[in-house]
Structure formats: C-alpha cells, structure tokens
C-alpha cells in the first residue's frame, strides 16, 4: 500500500509539473474579445491553411499573399475588388507603345520596418530575387532584365509584351531589404522586415502570426494597431470561434454554413463570385472519349444548376463563359454554348454506337464527391453509368498529369484578370502537365494564344480570345459548370471588409 501511494504521488507530481510547463508556455497576445465588447485596437483573422514561410519570394500561393500584403509593399498595388492596378512603391508606371518596356518612378518616402530607407538597390535586388525564385520565376518569362535608369527611375526590358506583368509585379514582387536578407535568408523567412503597413511581431508555428501597425507608414498608420492571423484547420471549429468572438473574421467559410452565419446576430457574410472555375474535363486521348459525339453528348447532359444546388448549397454562379468573366477580355455576347438537351445527348450517343448505354469513370478529389454524384445523376439520364473514384490531392493530380483518367471534375484558378495567364496553362497543347489535362491539341488554338500573348492591341486581343473560347467550347473537351462564391465572414462591427474574387484581403482598409 505504501508503494502504491508513492506511485500516485509521483504521477501527480509529474502531472503538476507538466501543468506548470504548459501554463507557462508562450502566451498569445490579444486573442480577440467577446462579441459586443470589441477592443478597438486588435483584430484576429482566421485562416484555414497555415503558411510555410514569410519570405515573399518563396511562395506562389495566393492565400499566403494575404500576409505578405500587410508586411510588404510592391512597386504596384493590385486592388482586388476592382482588379485595377494602382501605384505602390512606384508612384507612376508607363508601358511603351510597343509593349516592350515599362518605366517606373519610385517614391522616396518609404522606409523598412527597421528604419532603413528603401533604395533602388533594394528594389533591384528584390526583382532579381523573385525572377530567380523557384516558386515565382515562371511569371517573369517575358522579362529580359530590370535596370536602374537613375536613383529613382526603373525600367523593365521585355522580350515580348506581357499583359499580366503588372499583376505579377503587384502580387509577388514584394520589396525586401537587401542587407537583411543577405545576412540571414532563413531567419528572414521566419521574421521578415518589409515596408508595408504592418510590422512583423511574432510567429508561433502552427498557431498564429502577430503583427503591429507601423506608425511610420507613409500613407498613414493602419487604423487597427494589432493584428493576429490565427490558423484553424477545422472549419466547424472556425465557425464556433467566429461565434464566440475568439476570431473576428474568417476567410472562406463553407457554403453549408452561409445561412447560419447570415442568421447570426453580430456576424456578417460578404460574398462575391470567385475567380476559380470548376469544370468537368474529358480526356480526349481516351479510347471512348476521343469520339467527338460522345463528348458532345456528355456536355449536353450536364445540368449546371443542379450541381450548384446539389453540391454548393446554391451559393455559386453558373459559369456561362468558360474562364472569362464579364468585363474581362474575350467576354462577348456572341458566345454560343449549347443548352442542356438530354434527348439530343441520347441521340448522339446512339449515333456513336452506344445506344445501349456506356460506362465511364469519373475521378475527383475527396472534397468534391457530392459534385461528382450530381454529375453522375445527370449523365445517367442519357444512359451513361458513371463510376466515381475519389482520390487524395497528390494522387489526383498525378493521375491527371499522366493522363490516367477518363473524366475528371476539378477547378482552376486565375492569377490575373487577363485570359492569357490562364490559357497558356489550360489550352496550349504543351500544357498537359500544367492544366491541359484533357489533352486539347489544336494548332489553331496554339497559334491564336501565341498571338494573344504578345499583342498590345485591345481590339485584336478581344477578337482572338473570343475565337479561342468558342473553339474550346466546340471541341467539347470540357464543360464549365460554376464559379464558386468567394467569401469572408466577420464580426459586424468590423468595417472596410470586402470579399474579393481572388481571396486576398487588404487589412490596411479595415477599422472598427
């Protein structure tokens, strides 16, 4: 009995010691207040995926860019709500007539968070860095070099015109202090120094990143002093955290929760049509699907609205124009897409020799199973039996790249509002590994795309892209189904919040 008591004592002591260690662990700064008693100088924003680095040149993920936007400044600024390009570190920019050079004039009033002024040297160093970065060098194919004309004038020398460049510059070419980065690049990725509206304070790996407004920011100190970015991977938990006030805003809630958020007093949901496009791809190199009639039949059988209602809680827009949104180059009222027609679909299948029906395989990611099921139901109506195969992300993409599929349901996001940035991946015959999974092989389209990329004539480009999307539509290589709703949910007292198609949020604009 004595020994037993001793064991108990040891265990209890261990437990208490561990408790002490645990409780003395890193305490977080402001964790947000309960609803109704917001402290006006702090903000907690939740996001679902943790970022891997705060080095602005070591990522190509829009989600990560949110934090970069707060800490860093680029030569140009991308207004995510209107898709306009505005000045940033460069107070003006000019593209030459032939589109082969871009000139910029730098502001001189920006300082890094450590007090050092932002110089041309830093700018050149940063541009070099992004152009060499494994994550970002694809964006700069059109750039030959960047040179300093003088201390405040910068010139981009291009090898071909590029309509996307301003966006890449704004989104990824953040300016970093050369001396600091060179001294300790790895440390920089953990504790960055930029010249944006917020200073980096602390990163608790896997949990949160803390920032503080820089009082010396030339355009004025940000209204909210302390910002914490909290990583919460479980969406249900995120919803609860929003409701309890432990988090003031959360990006990208589930469609299933929209109604609940709208009905909760004190919470606001902002939505806008996102810039991703979800579609069904048909492998043109597959034995059965190489038959044009079969593909056309499948495209005719898809009921876009049913997919949105059945799998997206009715909270998405029908993609009626492929990748192109209204207002973007290539959007035209002349675009012809066939209406849903089950009878004609059946007839086409019969003509193709499948009057008695057909079996096909549909691959999708596990998060898209419901969508696949609706498509399965759609296709049943024309006599096609669909077998759904769910895959985990990396396996899914591996199969797509290898052409190891018949039909697949997936999405693709646009980096810039200009179609050339997306089409080079999804429609070029050499883009099989990057987005042209359905293996579209059309010299005509390739040629059009090549011209479109380098053209500087808006009218010419409009015609080119109109033609491209009509050709793609008539090739029946895929059926564009919906544009999901980008959203951000937040405490109603928080002002200045807008949902953006790209899913990037400029917290500089937020205030209580």
Among 33, 38, 41, 50, binds other proteins (CB under 8 A): 50
Q: To 5 degrees, how large is the angle CA 12–CA 13–CA 14? A: 90
Region of 383 please: left (phi>0), alpha (psi -120 to 50) or beta. left
| Residue 206 in contact with other proteins, rule: CB under 8 A | yes
Among 105, 108, 137, 306, binds other proteins (CB under 8 A): 137
Give, as ranges, the residues between 413 and 452 that touch other proteins (CB under 8 A): 425, 434-435
Give, as ranges, the residues between 375 and 414 that touch other proteins (CB under 8 A): 393-395, 397-398
CA 353 to chain centre: 42
| Residue 263 in contact with other proteins, rule: CB under 8 A | no
User: Smaller CB distance to other proteins: residue 331 or 425?
Assistant: 425
Among 33, 38, 41, 53, binds other proteins (CB under 8 A): 53
Asked if 342 contacts 305 with a C-beta cutoff of 8 angstroms, the reply is no
User: SS3 of 357, please?
Assistant: coil
Rounded to 5 degrees, φ, ψ at 206 are 80, -10
Give the interface size with other proteins as a residue count (CB under 8 A). 57
| Residue 138 in contact with other proteins, rule: CB under 8 A | yes
| Residue 9 in contact with other proteins, rule: CB under 8 A | no
Query: Under 8 Å CB-to-CB from 140, ≥6 apart: which residues?
Result: 130, 131, 168
Among 97, 205, 336, 367, binds other proteins (CB under 8 A): 205
How far is residue 94's CA from residue 271's CA, in Å, rounded to a whole number? 34
| Residue 265 in contact with other proteins, rule: CB under 8 A | no
| Residue 13 in contact with other proteins, rule: CB under 8 A | no
User: Smaller CB distance to other proteins: residue 14 or 355?
Assistant: 14
Among 6, 40, 305, 495, binds other proteins (CB under 8 A): 6
User: SS3 of 296, please?
Assistant: helix
Region of 207 please: left (phi>0), alpha (psi -120 to 50) or beta. alpha
- The CA distances from residue 291 to 86, 157, 284, 286, 476, in Å, are 48, 46, 8, 9, 10
- Long-range CB pairs of 263-268 (<8 Å, 24+ gap) are 266/35, 266/36, 266/491, 266/492, 266/493, 267/242, 267/243, 267/489, 267/490, 267/491, 267/492, 268/489, 268/490, 268/491, 268/492, 268/497
Among 118-126, 186-194, 334-342, 476-484, the segment contacting other proteins (CB under 8 A): 186-194
User: Smaller CB distance to other proteins: residue 23 or 334?
Assistant: 23
How far is residue 484's CA from residue 502's CA, in Å, rounded to a whole number? 11
**For residue 469, what are its two tokens?**
């999307």
Closest approach of Cβ 238 to other proteins, in Å? Answer: 8
| Residue 25 in contact with other proteins, rule: CB under 8 A | yes
| Residue 237 in contact with other proteins, rule: CB under 8 A | yes
Among 8-16, 273-281, 309-317, 373-381, the segment contacting other proteins (CB under 8 A): 8-16
| Residue 39 in contact with other proteins, rule: CB under 8 A | no
* Binding string, residues 153-182; x marks residues near other proteins by CB under 8 A: ------------------------------
Among 18, 149, 183, 191, binds other proteins (CB under 8 A): 18
Q: Report strand pairing: 276-282 vs 478-491.
A: antiparallel
Site residues for other proteins per CB under 8 A: 1, 3-4, 6-7, 11-12, 14-15, 18-19, 21-23, 25-28, 31, 34, 50, 52-53, 60-61, 134-135, 137-138, 186, 189-190, 204-207, 230-234, 236-237, 240-241, 243-244, 246-247, 393-395, 397-398, 425, 434-435
């Amino acid at each position: 009995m004595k020994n037993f008591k001793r064991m108990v004592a040891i265990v209890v002591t261990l437990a208490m010691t561990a408790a002490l260690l645990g409780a003395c662990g890193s305490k977080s700064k402001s964790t947000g207040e309960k609803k109704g008693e917001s402290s006006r100088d702090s903000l907690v924003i939740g996001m679902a995926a943790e970022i891997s680095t705060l080095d602005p040149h070591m990522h190509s993920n829009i989600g990560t860019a949110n934090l970069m936007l707060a800490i860093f400044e680029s030569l140009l600024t991308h207004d995510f709500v209107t898709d306009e390009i505005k000045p940033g570190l460069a107070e003006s920019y000019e593209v030459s007539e032939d589109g082969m050079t871009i000139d910029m004039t730098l502001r001189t009033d920006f300082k890094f968070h450590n007090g050092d002024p932002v110089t041309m040297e830093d700018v050149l160093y940063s541009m070099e860095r992004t152009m060499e970065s494994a994550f970002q060098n694809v964006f700069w194919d059109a750039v030959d070099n960047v040179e300093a004309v003088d201390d405040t004038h910068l010139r981009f020398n291009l090898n071909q015109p590029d309509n996307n460049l301003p966006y890449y510059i704004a989104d990824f070419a953040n300016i970093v202090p050369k001396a600091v980065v060179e001294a300790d690049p790895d440390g920089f990725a953990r504790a960055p120094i930029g010249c944006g509206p917020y200073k980096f304070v602390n990163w608790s790996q896997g949990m949160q990143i803390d920032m503080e407004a820089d009082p010396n920011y030339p355009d004025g100190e940000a209204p909210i002093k302390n910002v914490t970015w909290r990583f919460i991977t479980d969406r249900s938990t995120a919803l609860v955290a929003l409701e309890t006030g432990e988090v003031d805003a959360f990006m990208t809630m589930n469609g299933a929760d929209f109604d609940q958020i709208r009905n909760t007093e004190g919470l606001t949901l902002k939505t806008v049509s996102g810039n991703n496009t979800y579609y069904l791809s048909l492998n043109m190199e597959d034995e059965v699907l190489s038959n044009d009639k079969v593909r056309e039949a499948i495209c005719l059988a898809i009921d876009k609205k049913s997919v949105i209602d059945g799998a997206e809680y009715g909270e998405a827009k029908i993609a009626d124009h492929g990748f192109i949104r209204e207002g973007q180059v290539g959007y035209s009222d002349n675009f012809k897409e066939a209406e849903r027609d089950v009878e004609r679909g059946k007839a086409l299948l019969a003509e193709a020799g499948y009057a008695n029906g057909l079996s096909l395989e549909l691959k999708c990611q596990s998060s898209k199973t419901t969508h696949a099921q609706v498509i399965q139901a759609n296709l049943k109506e024309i006599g096609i039996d669909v077998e759904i195969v769910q895959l985990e992300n990396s396996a899914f993409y591996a199969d797509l790249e290898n052409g190891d599929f018949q039909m697949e349901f997936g999405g693709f996001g646009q980096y810039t509002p200009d179609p050339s940035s997306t089409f080079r991946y999804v429609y070029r015959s050499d883009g099989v590994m990057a987005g042209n999974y359905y293996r579209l092989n059309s010299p005509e389209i390739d040629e059009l795309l090549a011209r479109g990329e380098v053209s500087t004539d808006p009218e010419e480009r409009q015609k080119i892209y109109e033609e491209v999307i009509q050709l793609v539509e008539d090739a029946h290589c895929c059926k564009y189904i919906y544009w999901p709703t980008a959203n951000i949910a937040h405490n109603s007292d928080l002002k200045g919040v807008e949902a953006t198609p790209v899913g990037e949020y400029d917290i500089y604009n937020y205030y209580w």
